Amino acid sequence: MFNFGIWTSELNNFLMGFLPEWATVLVECVIIALLVLLTYTVLALFYILYERKLCAWFQCRLGPMRVGKWGLLQVFADMFKILIKELISLKDTDRFLFKLAPYLIITSSVVMLACLPWGNGLQIINYNIGIFFILAVSSVGVLGILLAGWASNNKYTLIGAMRSGAQMISYEISLGLAIITIIVFAGTMNINELVWAQDKAWFIFRGHIPAIIAFLIYVVAATAETNRGPFDLPEAEHELTAGYHTEYSGIHFGFFYLAEYLNLFIVSGVASLMFLGGWMPLHIPGWDSFNNVMNYIPSVVWFLGKSFFVSYVIIWFKWTFPRVRIDQMLSFEWKYLMPLSLANLVLMAVFVALGWHF
C-alpha cells in the first residue's frame, strides 16, 4: 500500500530546512486549511450532482443534462448564482444569531471532515479519542439549526427547529451506541488504530452478528442525524415550506445546502471507517494474492468508494420512503431503536468477552 505519509513528512522536512518550527507549523496549517476547504467545496458540489442524478434515475428521468456534458457543470452554475444572490436581513429578528447560525453549521461539518482518515497516511489530526471528537463536534450542528429556527422569528422555522432538536438529540443516542459497540470490539477510539485493526478483515465481517446489527442501526440513525428522508421532518417541504432555513437566502442558504450534503458524506465516511474498514482495502484472510491485488487500488479510492456506497443507500432511502410523523419518529427511536442498540451493545460485550469473533 502506498503511504501518503511519505509525502507529508517530506514536505515537513523541506519546510523545516529553512523555517523555524513555529513557522513550519503555521505554513502547514494554512496549506491544510486550504486543502480542507477545497475538498469540502468539491465534495459538496459532487454530492449535490450525485443526488440529483440518482434521484432522477429512480424517477425514470435523466436529471441535469444541458449545462456541460451530462450536466456536470450544473452545480457550478448553481454555486455562482447562490454566491451573488442578495442576502436578505429581516426586521424583528436577532440579527447576530440569525447570521451566526449558518456559520456554526458549516464550521461543525468542516471540523468533522478534517477528522476523517482519507487514506494511508492522509489524516490531519490523529487523536486518541478521534471518534469521540467527531461525535462531540456533530452536536454543535444541532445548535446551529436551533439558532436558525429561533432567530428567524417565523413559526415554520421554529417548528422545524424544535423538530430538529428533538430528532437529532434522540437519534444521537442510537448513533453513539452503535459506534460504542464497535469501540468495545476494537478497544480503541483512535481513528488510525481503528483502521489498522481492520487489516485482516473489516469489522462488519469480524464482528459478524452484533456488528451487522450495529451497522443497520447506524445507517438508520445516521439518516435521521442528517435530516434526510424519511426523517426529513425539520425541513419537511410539504408541511413547513423549507423548515428551519425558510428565511435564509443567498450564501447563507448555500451554507445550509452545502452542509446538508457534506453531513451526508461525513456520516457515510464514519460508517465506512467504523464498519467497512476506512481506507483499508478488502482483505480476506488466507487469500494473499487477492489481498495484494486489492492493495494496488489507492487507499483514497477505497475510502471514497465506500463512503459513496453508503451515501447511495441513504439517498435511496430518501427517494423511496414517505416521510414519518414526529410522534412515529420519536417512538421508533425510544421504543425500538435505542433498546435494540443497548441490547446489541451487551451482545457485543459478551461476544468480545467469550472471543466469539474472528
- Give the nearer residue to another protein in terms of CB position, either 283 or 318: 318
- Give the nearer residue to another protein in terms of CB position, either 48 or 134: 48
Question: How many residues does this entry show for the chain?
Answer: 358
355: contact with another protein by CB under 8 A:
no
167: contact with another protein by CB under 8 A:
no
Count CB neighbours of 282 within 10 A.
18
- Give the nearer residue to another protein in terms of CB position, either 251 or 342: 251
Nearby residues of 324 by Cβ (< 8 Å), 6 or more positions away: 230, 231, 233, 332
Which positions from 50 through 69 interact with another protein, judged by CB under 8 A? 52, 55-56, 58-67
Q: How far apart are CA 10 and CA 12, in angstroms?
A: 5
Which positions from 211 through 230 interact with another protein, judged by CB under 8 A? 229-230
47: contact with another protein by CB under 8 A:
no
Count CB neighbours of 29 within 10 A.
11
Q: How far apart are CA 42 and CA 25, in angstroms?
A: 25
Q: How far apart are CA 122 and CA 109, in angstroms?
A: 19
* Number of shown-chain residues binding another protein (CB under 8 A): 59
Q: How far apart are CA 76 and CA 203, in angstroms?
A: 38
State which of residues 320, 336, 339, 343 lies at the interface with another protein (CB under 8 A). 320
Min. distance of Cβ 182 from another protein in angstroms? 28
State which of residues 6, 23, 29, 88 lies at the interface with another protein (CB under 8 A). 88
Nearby residues of 337 by Cβ (< 8 Å), 6 or more positions away: 171, 174, 217, 220, 221
Q: By rule CB under 8 A, what string of x and - marks binding of each residue 136-155 to another protein?
A: -------------------x
Interface ranges with another protein (CB under 8 A):
52, 55-56, 58-67, 71, 73-74, 76-88, 155-156, 159, 229-230, 232-233, 236-239, 241-242, 245-250, 253, 319-328
